[in-house]
Amino acid sequence: MNIFKQKFIATQCLLITIILTLSACSLDVSNPNSATQEDVLNSAEGIESYAIGMQGYFAENAYPDVVLNTGVTTRELAINTTYSSLVELEDGGTALPPGNSRINSIWDGMFRVINMTGQIIDNAPNVITDEAELSGIMAMSELYRAMALGYLVQCFEQAPIEAGQNVEFQSRGDVLAEALRLLNSARQRINQTPPSSSFNNNILLSGIDLPNTINAMRARYNLMAGNYQDAIDASNQVDMSATSVFSYDGSTMRNPIFDGVAQGDEGQEYAPRDNFGTPLTESGDQRLDFYLSSSSEQSTPNGLTIDDLVGFFNTASKSIPVYLPGEMNLIRAEAHVHLDEPGMAVNEIDNIRTKKPSEDPFGVGADLPAYSGGTSDAELFEEIYQQRSAELYLTGMRFEDMRRLNRPVPSDDPPFSATRNRVYYPYPTQERQNNTNTPENPPI
């Protein structure tokens, strides 16, 4: 275990106290024995430990809230408990209130990351004297800030780009533009000054490939923003043989999807629905066996057919990909459709359909026949959606994919057979009470 991770574990309770008491605007902590904002942010050691803590918080708290809770909304997961917050989430439609704790946790978690990364970006240049270490810390913070903004607009129609009191909400396009600005800055920063070995070995969490993750997120958010050629160009800069993962040791940090998903243990809250929760799955798709283990069980309380979850989520120490290489093929496929290049789109679709598990660095492969369907935009978008639903199962992407790829809009009171039960989430009640700029909630 490296020295900075040892320091982080030794001071974990202190740092978690700070992280969990973050308000929208400050790090005020009343306990006189706890670290103050000045203690943490005005020393190199404090910034280094705080940067490690921020990454751990994202991987163990903020990111899984998106995966698990949007997974219920998009029918990837069934709830397997009678907790009212999850019952409301599975009902969806107008039955999902703005005070729901599960959607509030997405909002709160991402804004804690935005707050933490903002404090690191503002203070690190004042105390980190090693330029190569500073480059890594700044680029890493810009990456996580961009991901937090991206996940917010995958869930909410608008969002602020800063944490603070009574901040202005920005349009989806403006939030994505800010995420891309941060990612382009991060990329330029590490190209000009490669991060030091000290940063890579001691501060960046084990398993994270910083350059490839930055480019993968540039591809993702350029696609979402409608910058199709830029999305293709960024995706082509991702090494398809590389992996970037959130690592868990099973004790200090546990795989949070494993802990949240029901696998026969009483008290767990979520369970995977059959066939990735979509009628578009194809017989013989080997990704079904990669992610799911067949079961005859039904969920509680709604009696939905569920399976057991395997793949990246079957032990407390299993790593979770930050992104999957196959997403790059599917980004290119979708962008080519928009650029009126259906033949190139089909080529990328076939790269996913015919890929064998042994040809993927994570072992994710469909091993299906080549695509034989039509090449209209609607037909290709449906095929891309089908492939994304399988390839990117439980990555938190399907909520966004359904809007972008024109899946049916749910009714106000959607049945459990509906492919989704919301278009966007309502804004949290607490945000509305504290921020007069909060927009009206979307109908569904």
| Residues 427-442: tens digit of each pLDDT | 999 999 999 999 999 9
Q: How far apart are CA 111 and CA 104, in angstroms?
A: 11
Among candidate residues 343, 337, 349, 420, the one with its CA nearest the CA of residue 378: 337
pLDDT at 129: 97
pLDDT at 19: 52
Q: What is the pTM of this model?
A: 0.94
Enumerate the domain spans of the chain: 1-206+248-273+296-318
**Torsion angle of alpha carbons 284, 272, 73, 147, nearest 10°?**
-90
pLDDT at 21: 45
Low-confidence ranges of the chain (pLDDT < 50): 1-14, 16-17, 20-33
pLDDT at 265: 52
pLDDT at 11: 43
Say if domain 1-206+248-273+296-318 classifies as CATH 1.25.40: yes
pLDDT at 44: 97
Q: How many C-beta atoms lie closer than 10 Å to residue 94's C-beta?
A: 15
pLDDT at 291: 98
pLDDT at 36: 67
pLDDT at 268: 82
Among candidate residues 21, 97, 100, the one with its CA nearest the CA of residue 65: 100
